[in-house]
């Protein structure tokens, strides 16, 4: 048994850490203009990312990317989690955000949608969530009804990240509402300028994300824009969901790490009642608990990622990692904020932004209650005795 990261991943981790420390952290508080990264900052960081050889690290080699494995990606996500300048959802600085669903398109579709995204010429967004169907998308009300050579989509979507800059959307819609998530949902490629696609309003959130509400009114989509077969809409999601969970988890470890760095530096120099905070047991316990929990979560993330790369089935473990990583990040961040007192609440420090983002990550892409519900089924399969 060997718990060391392989040499090339240790070097990768150091490279990303140096990049984050030298290029990003010094400008992280000024990197954004409202909700968007300033174009000159993005350009500068993207050029640097290319320079250090990390461009398209998660795009498979057959499409011209680096095709890095899960453990390598987790190492990158962890280090990127240490700064507030990298968006928590979509649109990083190491290449265009390629929705993994696009790799399942047929060749004709790839020419129109996948390759231009990889080249940075087109942008996509993902439309699943609805007012009445979020954590339980099987209950979605948006329908796609077939009429000969095309479908007509009607419905309402919300919380759609990047819809305002997208050229097209991957839309999930019910082709058989009675079947729901068991074969009743299909996926479609819909150009955003198709008549009937309406950006209704941006949703202001406590984070800097600004997802959109979208109305789909009699949107005519050719049959050739369906992804896969009718009823396969969820199948594609399931294939990449593990990567999404692991990204949350690894990012959470990075957030916790940064918060410990901040609190660890602050506690020895902040004096109250004649002694530094670092001398107070109450503060020491907060930091030591954070340290232990971060170490445990990191090990779990690395081990799950390593198993994934070996080809093991790690669906349950990835759920556990997401819960651990997201909850860890928020808990450690909250403690760092407490230790900093009032200054931790100000925008002079990154803690308040890490705190807001981390709180939101616990809810999106699978709230912990839903993940625990799914895990409970697996738990009883493993521990529930022979009669279950």
Ligand X SMILES: Cc1cc2nc3c(=O)[nH]c(=O)nc-3n(C[C@H](O)[C@H](O)[C@H](O)COP(=O)(O)OP(=O)(O)OC[C@H]3O[C@@H](n4cnc5c(N)ncnc54)[C@H](O)[C@@H]3O)c2cc1C
Question: Interface with ligand X by CB under 6 A: which residues?
Answer: 89, 126-129, 134-136, 159-161, 205, 209, 211, 360, 363-365, 367, 369-370, 373
| Nearest distance in Å: CB 163, ligand X | 8
Of 35 and 307, which CB lies nearer to ligand X in the complex structure? 35
| Nearest distance in Å: CB 138, ligand X | 11
Of 71 and 243, which CB lies nearer to ligand X in the complex structure? 243
Active site residues: 365
Of 27 and 215, which CB lies nearer to ligand X in the complex structure? 215
List of residues 6+ apart from 310 with CB closer than 8 A: none
| Nearest distance in Å: CB 367, ligand X | 3
| Nearest distance in Å: CB 125, ligand X | 6
Of 65 and 134, which CB lies nearer to ligand X in the complex structure? 134
Let me know: does 14 contact 79? Beta carbons within 8 Å. Answer: no
Could you tell me how many residues make up the chain? 388
| Nearest distance in Å: CB 342, ligand X | 27
With vertex at residue 58, the alpha carbon angle to CA 56 and CA 64, rounded to the nearest 5 degrees, is 50
Of 257 and 357, which CB lies nearer to ligand X in the complex structure? 357
| Nearest distance in Å: CB 285, ligand X | 29
Q: Is 310 helix (H, G, I), strand (E, B) or coil?
A: helix
Rounded alpha-carbon distances, angstroms, from residue 264 to 35, 125, 256, 269: 30, 39, 12, 9
Give which of 96, 80, 76 is closest to 88, Cα–Cα.
80
With vertex at residue 342, the alpha carbon angle to CA 339 and CA 346, rounded to the nearest 5 degrees, is 110
Direct distance between the N- and C-terminal alpha carbons of the chain, in angstroms, rounded to an integer: 35
Of 124 and 254, which CB lies nearer to ligand X in the complex structure? 124
DSSP 133: B
Let me know: does 184 contact 231? Beta carbons within 8 Å. Answer: yes
Q: Give the count of alpha carbons within 13 A of 125, CB side only.
A: 23
Euclidean distance between CA atoms 324 and 297, whole angstroms: 6
List of residues 6+ apart from 48 with CB closer than 8 A: 19, 23
| Nearest distance in Å: CB 171, ligand X | 9
List of residues 6+ apart from 42 with CB closer than 8 A: 93
Q: Looking up tokens 């077969």, which residue turns up?
A: 229
- Which helix (H) or strand (E) segment holds residue 188: the answer is strand 185-191
Closest residue to ligand X using C-beta atoms:
134
Of 36 and 307, which CB lies nearer to ligand X in the complex structure? 36
CA quadruple 67, 69, 75, 78: dihedral positive or negative? positive
Give which of 93, 99, 92, 90 is closest to 118, Cα–Cα.
99
Let me know: does 299 contact 291? Beta carbons within 8 Å. Answer: no
DSSP 134: S
């Amino acid at each position: 048994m060997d718990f060391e990261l392989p040499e090339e991943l240790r070097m990768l981790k150091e490279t990303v850490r140096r990049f984050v420390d030298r290029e990003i952290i010094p400008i992280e508080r000024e990197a954004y203009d409202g909700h968007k990264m300033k174009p000159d900052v993005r350009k500068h960081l993207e050029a640097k990312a290319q320079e250090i050889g990390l461009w398209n690290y998660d795009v498979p080699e057959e499409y011209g990317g680096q095709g890095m494995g899960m453990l390598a990606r987790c190492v990158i996500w962890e280090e990127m989690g240490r700064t507030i300048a990298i968006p928590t959802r979509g649109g990083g600085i190491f290449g265009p955000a390629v929705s993994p669903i696009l790799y399942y398109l047929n060749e004709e579709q790839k020419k129109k949608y996948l390759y231009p995204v990889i080249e940075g010429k087109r942008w996509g967004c993902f439309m699943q969530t609805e007012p009445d169907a979020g954590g339980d998308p099987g209950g979605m009300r948006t329908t796609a009804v077939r009429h000969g050579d095309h479908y007509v989509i009607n419905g309402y979507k919300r919380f759609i990240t990047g819809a305002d800059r997208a050229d097209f959307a991957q839309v999930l819609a019910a082709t058989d509402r009675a079947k729901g998530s068991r074969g009743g949902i299909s996926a479609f490629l819909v150009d955003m300028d198709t008549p009937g696609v309406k950006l209704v309003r941006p949703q202001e959130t406590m984070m800097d994300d600004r997802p959109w509400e979208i109305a789909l009114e009699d949107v005519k989509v050719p049959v050739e824009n369906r992804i896969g077969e009718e009823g396969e809409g969820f199948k594609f999601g399931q294939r990449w969901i593990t990567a999404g969970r692991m990204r949350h988890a690894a990012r959470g470890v990075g957030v916790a790490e940064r918060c410990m760095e901040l609190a660890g530096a602050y506690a020895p120099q902040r004096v109250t009642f004649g002694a530094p905070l670092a001398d107070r047991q109450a503060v020491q316990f907060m930091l030591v608990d954070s340290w232990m929990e971060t170490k445990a979560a990191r090990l779990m993330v690395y081990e799950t990622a390593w198993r994934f790369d070996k080809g093991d089935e790690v669906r349950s473990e990835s759920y556990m990692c997401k819960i651990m990583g997201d909850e860890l990040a928020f808990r450690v961040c909250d403690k760092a904020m407490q230790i900093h007192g009032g200054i931790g609440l100000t925008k002079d420090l990154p803690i308040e932004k890490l705190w807001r983002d981390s709180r939101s990550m616990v809810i999106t892409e699978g709230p912990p209650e839903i993940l625990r519900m799914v895990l409970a089924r697996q738990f009883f399969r493993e521990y529930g005795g022979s009669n279950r």
